Amino acid sequence: MVGEAPLTGIKVLEFAGLAPGPFAGILLADAGADVLRIDRAVPGKTHTAGKQGPLTPDMLARYKSSIAVDLKSPSGIALIKQLAKAADVIIDPFRPGVLEKLGLGPDVLSALNPRIIYGRMTGFRRDGKYAAMAGHDINYLAVSGALSLLGRDGEKPHPPWNILADFAGGGAVLFKGILLAVIARQRTGRGQVVEANMVDGAAYLASFPRMALKTPLGNNGRGRNQLDGGCPFYDTYETKDGKYMSVGALEPQFYSILVEGLGLASQPWAAESRRNDRATWAEMQRQFEAAFRSKTRAEWEAVFDGTDACCTPVLEFPELEAETRREGDQRPIVTLRDTPMLAVDQGATSPAVQGQGPGVEGGGYEGTPLAADGGGEEALGRWFGLTRGKEYDVEKGGLVLETKSKL
């Protein structure tokens, strides 16, 4: 029998931020956690039943709900503290000290709720020389050492979007830390502070290539090694129609199938015994390029599909959305057979906020920004049984705890 999602019942307060914090939140939400985003209040904008408030630029909002809170208001801070009493997890995406100055630091909230897991994400290390500085993905990659590995021979280091630091080294690492703290809490009964930073996360991801720098696998300089673009049988090639094929035929048996498929098996350099002879690589590269340009990508797919040549098309996202490309299905990050993750395909809707369109529809390739009050009042009802006008109300565009509340 298939059960509920693995994190069903876990309540998360996610302070609105940029990429890594929301990514940790969406990973938790996709696993069934009830994620309530705390947005910044906008004076003049009110929470009105049936109407959505201002949209935030964050598209990583699937299965989340939101409330706007004035964090400069004592009553707004009081509301957050009340919510924290019932929360399992806090996601703090701000620079060091921001929530502490608001009276919402880990010491305060842990005293209110000893079981709370206080997850906080920074870019630079909290104890490093850059701790007080602003930065972005490229900067965190730079000081982690990972950026020095990326790029072609003779070219400057080149960052790949903001995947490595923000998401892999940031949000995904914080998500892992939170899960570890949830497991530890089962044993200790207490929550704890989970600290993640994108410098350490990116550096950890680069563990293998860093270890390889002093070995023949990686000691030839950036872009001149087997796995970083320096090797002809581990590279990408343009096809006749301007598209690309990827090649990763590292093992001798796979290499043999590749050169046979390319029609190059008779070339002097094509013997398995010579594939790692760097003196042949320039000619091998030239002939690989010429061969791939002789056919369209579809024609090369017909040659290599179903083989062990380790040669596959470089698919682009627009074509992945087409029904003819099953590889384009957006799926959960991992499959759990007995307690499955929630759907992440187009039209995924949250049981918690059904009918609250923004933030829970278009989960595959069209992120829909969540309104600053999208589903939030329903979440307050689920968490506390709170009712607007009784335990809380709106003030200057944000929710505040009613001073007469007996909570």
Distance from C-alpha of 338 to C-alpha of 248, rounded to nearest angstrom: 35
Which is it for the CA torsion 364, 367, 373, 374, positive or negative? negative
For 70, 94, 192, 205, 353, the CA distances from 189, given in Å and listed in that order, are 32, 27, 10, 31, 30
CB-based contacts of 389, cutoff 8 Å, min separation 6: none
- List the one residue out of 379, 385, 407 whose CA is nearest residue 47: 379
Return d(Cα 169, Cα 19) in angstroms, integer: 12
* Torsion from C-alpha of 285, 286, 288, 292, nearest 10 degrees: 130
Amino acid at 190: R
Q: Give me the catalytic one of 34, 166, 200, 373.
A: 166
Chain centroid to CA 177: how far?
Answer: 14
- φ/ψ (deg, to 5) at 75: -70, -30
Total Cβ atoms within 10 A of residue 365: 13
- Residue 168 tokens read as 């892999």
* Residues 402 and 392 sit within 8 Å (Cβ to Cβ): yes
The encoded tokens of residue 122 equal 């920074």
Q: Are 11 and 89 in contact (CB under 8 A)?
A: yes
Q: Which residues on neighbouring strands pair with residue 236, listed in sequence order? A: 246
Residues with Cβ within 8 Å of residue 310, at least 6 apart in sequence:
247, 248, 249, 250, 254, 258
Range list of β-strands (E), 110-161: 117-122
Please list the alpha-helical segments (H only) found in 231-296: 252-261, 281-292
Six-digit token string for 390: 């009784």
Annotated catalytic, 393?
no
Identity of the residue numbered 14: E
Residue 59, token pair as written in the block: 């598209």
Known catalytic residues are: 166
